[in-house]
Amino acid sequence: MSSTNIEQVMPVKLAQALANPLFPALDSALRSGRHIGLDELDNHAFLMDFQEYLEEFYARYNVELIRAPEGSSIYAHVPPR
């Protein structure tokens, strides 16, 4: 049996974010254009905790994860082609 170091594939924090049970529904909401505000405390806190790693993840799909200047909402932006 071979052992693979996860960090050779992706940062551990990104793997933790993707494995989090909040991620699938949150990912779908972001990709459909929904803003995640402070009223969704668990989702907003999750995005704040993993923002750096999720920005890298979404960049692979030409999607920007953007935090509003006042920090009250986070959304995904797909630049026009």
Q: What is the pTM of this model?
A: 0.82
Query: What is the pLDDT confidence band of residue 7, given thresholds at 50, 70 and 90?
Result: low
Residue 33 DSSP code = T
Domains in the chain: boundaries? 10-77
Judge: domain 10-77, CATH 1.10.10.2250: yes
3-state DSSP assignment of residue 66: strand
According to the model, what pLDDT value does residue 76 have?
86
pLDDT in tens, 46-67: 999 999 999 999 999 999 999 8
Nearest residue to 47 via CA among 21, 55, 39: 55
Nearest-10 Cα torsion for 22, 5, 63, 43: 20
